[in-house]
Chains A and B, each alone.
Chain A
Amino acid sequence: MTYKIWFSIVFILSVLLLGILVPFFGVDPLLMDYSLMGTPQPPSWQHFFGTDELGRDILIRCIYGGRISLLVGFVAVSISITTGVLVGVLAGYIGGSFDEILMRFIDMLMALPTLFLILIIQVMLEPNIINVMVVIGVTSWMGVARIVRAEVLSLKQRDFIVAARSRGITEFKILFKHLLPHSLNPVIVAAMLGMGGAILTESVLSFLGLGVQPPHASWGNMLENSLGYLRDAPWMALIPGVLITLIVLSLNFLGDGLWLLLDPKAKDNHVRN
């Protein structure tokens, strides 16, 4: 298990660091080499990942695309975690019909085909990167809300919560100081998995032309670009495709690893197996 986690950490960190540092390299992802226009070049010493149909360097575009992917993943997950934790905590803590109504509402949202919902919203709104992040965030908080609610339900009858109440501590403080930290472990894991999902959704949207708009690079729209050249320049599709797979896989491995690290029951099973 550990080599997977180390691989994940190294991969994610390198995408992140390259993404942060690339503006200081003095390279331009939009720089076109007119002599290469129309004929994508295969990987060479000059262009490690080759060039695309407009003579742009694919490596540089991939680094810029990775920046976008991680940013979308991070912001979308922040939105979904915040919403999910808030809804889950309130539903679990207040309980009763309030909980019932919220949970049925979540059931309803979960029954909707999310991708089509996102597509419709993106068509109606202007498809830019901020909309992509917000739309992914607000359509993916339901799972987190359910996890947190279940945790809070089991925590709120525990002795130390009743004891805190018996000392006259306010409900607000009990909720956010005494209850919330105990329910965060599964949330951290869900955040990692959710980030992988968000990056995948962003790629799909960009691939369909409803996400990050050209000429800005994203792994998804690089894939879309490559469609016309699949036979002549397979590297144009292969490179961003592999990168999407690797980043999603890394985030999932990291989520699994954190789960093993944070959940004592999971560790027992792992040792026994």
Chain B
Amino acid sequence: MLEIKDLIIDFYVKENVVHAVKGIDFTVNDSQTVGIVGESGSGKSVTALSIMGLLPATAKIQGQVNFKNTDLLKLNNDKMRSYRGAKIGYIFQNPLSALNPVFTIANQMVETIILHRNVAKIEARKMAIDLLDKVKIIDPHKRIDDYPHQFSLGMCQRIMIAMTLSMQPDLLIADEPTASLDVTTQKEILELMDELKELYNMAMIFISHDLGVVAERCDYVHVMYLGNIVESGNPRDLFENPKHDYTKKLLNAIPKIYFK
């Protein structure tokens, strides 16, 4: 479904060049979950944003991003827009800042649904309420008229997931979707995502620095370090038998609990 070939991303800031991604390759097959792990600044999010064509103008991208045999990097902005949301959904790290604070949830969801599903406003609202119910927001017909700041972070992430699902994308990119949530909320959100992925039969790119979370749900994992993919494999092999020094270090960095 998605095939990334020799992707190079450089940022030009004034006279300096920052090499964010230094030539990576990977593929995502239909209904597969691919994990990308690595520390902050290793190029995970930049890679994800480049697939969506959402990098700022200072970025220079080379290589190929083939999505269903179309090279997304060659599309102009208008053509790219028809892929965003409709074919590739994106879930952000901080759900509260990803919702526009001055509009209600209803306003933003209805806007999205009308754009992608070609329905009337009343019907779009009904669909939005259904979706909110599906992501387990209590009293969706009341809460839909609330503003983002009236929800907890975990609920905001549920809303973002509902909004992304309303467009029925074939591929879902989740960019550290639970990094800003506490552990119990994290578990709920992850379970919800697994459930919905199964239901909608989507492929997923799951970006995280939490190795446990990745090991649990990914079919294939890539470890990124300083803009390169240093090791790939299925999670069991990778974590039981790390070959690259960096992967070993990552695994050793997981805190262990000792009792005296």
Determine if B115 and A160 form an interchain contact, defined as CB atoms under 8 angstroms apart: no
Determine if A157 and B112 form an interchain contact, defined as CB atoms under 8 angstroms apart: no
Determine if B115 and A167 form an interchain contact, defined as CB atoms under 8 angstroms apart: yes
Chain B residues in 8 Å Cβ range of A167: 84-85, 112, 115-116, 163-164, 167
Contact with A along B100-113 (1 / 0, CB 8 A): 11100000000110
Query: CA A234 – CA B37 in complex, angstroms?
Result: 82
Chain B residues in 8 Å Cβ range of A160: 97-101
| Contact status of A163 and B98, CB under 8 A, knowing A95-B57, A168-B115 | yes
Please tell me which one of the listed residues A166, A171, A182 contacts residue B90 in the complex, with CB atoms under 8 A apart: A166
Chain B residues in 8 Å Cβ range of A181: 102
| Contact status of A165 and B94, CB under 8 A, knowing A160-B100, A160-B101, A170-B81 | no
Chain A residues in 8 Å Cβ range of B92: 159, 162-163, 166
Asked if A96 CB lies within 8 Å of chain B CBs, one says yes
Chain B residues in 8 Å Cβ range of A178: 100
Please tell me which one of the listed residues B81, B99, B102, B160 contacts residue A168 in the complex, with CB atoms under 8 A apart: B81
Query: CA A170 – CA B81 in complex, angstroms?
Result: 8
Chain B residues in 8 Å Cβ range of A168: 81-86, 115-116, 167
Residue of B nearest to A157 (CB): B56
Residue of B nearest to A171 (CB): B77
Chain A residues in 8 Å Cβ range of B84: 165-168
What is the minimal beta-carbon distance from A104 to any residue of chain B, in angstroms?
A: 19
Chain A residues in 8 Å Cβ range of B167: 167-168
Asked if B119 CB lies within 8 Å of chain A CBs, one says no
Chain A residues in 8 Å Cβ range of B57: 95-96
Asked if B8 CB lies within 8 Å of chain A CBs, one says no
Asked if B153 CB lies within 8 Å of chain A CBs, one says no
What is the minimal beta-carbon distance from B12 to any residue of chain A, in angstroms?
A: 13
Asked if B214 CB lies within 8 Å of chain A CBs, one says no
Asked if A164 CB lies within 8 Å of chain B CBs, one says yes
Contact with B along A139-175 (1 / 0, CB 8 A): 0000000000000000001111011111111110100
List A159-207 residues whose CB lies under 8 Å from chain B.
159-160, 162-171, 173, 177-178, 181-182
Query: CA A163 – CA B95 in complex, angstroms?
Result: 10
Asked if B52 CB lies within 8 Å of chain A CBs, one says yes
Query: CA A170 – CA B115 in complex, angstroms?
Result: 9
Residue of A nearest to B77 (CB): A171
Determine if B99 and A169 form an interchain contact, defined as CB atoms under 8 angstroms apart: no
Asked if B138 CB lies within 8 Å of chain A CBs, one says no
Chain B residues in 8 Å Cβ range of A158: 97
Residue of B nearest to A179 (CB): B100
Determine if A159 and B85 form an interchain contact, defined as CB atoms under 8 angstroms apart: no
Determine if A159 and B98 form an interchain contact, defined as CB atoms under 8 angstroms apart: yes
Residue of A nearest to B90 (CB): A166
Asked if B75 CB lies within 8 Å of chain A CBs, one says no
Please tell me which one of the listed residues A96, A159, A165 contacts residue B97 in the complex, with CB atoms under 8 A apart: A159
Query: CA A96 – CA B57 in complex, angstroms?
Result: 9
Asked if B54 CB lies within 8 Å of chain A CBs, one says yes
Most buried by A among B90, B98, B116: B98
Residue of A nearest to B55 (CB): A162
Query: CA A160 – CA B54 in complex, angstroms?
Result: 12
Residue of A nearest to B163 (CB): A167
Residue of B nearest to A178 (CB): B100
Determine if A162 and B82 form an interchain contact, defined as CB atoms under 8 angstroms apart: no
Query: CA A163 – CA B112 in complex, angstroms?
Result: 11
Chain A residues in 8 Å Cβ range of B112: 167, 169
Query: CA A177 – CA B115 in complex, angstroms?
Result: 14
Residue of B nearest to A174 (CB): B100
Query: CA A157 – CA B83 in complex, angstroms?
Result: 21
Please tell me which one of the listed residues A159, A173, A182 contacts residue B102 in the complex, with CB atoms under 8 A apart: A182
Query: CA A241 – CA B89 in complex, angstroms?
Result: 64
Binding site for B on A (CB under 8 A): 95-96, 157-160, 162-171, 173, 177-178, 181-182
- 17 example contacts (A-B, Cβ-Cβ < 8 A) are as follows A96-B57, A157-B56, A159-B98, A162-B92, A163-B90, A166-B84, A166-B90, A167-B112, A167-B115, A167-B164, A168-B83, A168-B84, A168-B86, A168-B115, A168-B167, A169-B112, A173-B111
| Ranked 7 nearest A-B pairs via Cβ | A168-B85, A163-B98, A159-B97, A168-B84, A167-B85, A166-B90, A160-B100
Binding site for A on B (CB under 8 A): 49, 52, 54, 56-57, 77, 81-86, 89-90, 92, 94, 97-102, 111-112, 115-116, 160, 163-164, 167
- What 12 additional pairs, Cβ within 8 angstroms, besides A166-B90, A177-B111? A159-B97, A163-B92, A166-B52, A167-B84, A167-B167, A168-B81, A168-B82, A168-B116, A168-B167, A169-B112, A169-B115, A182-B102
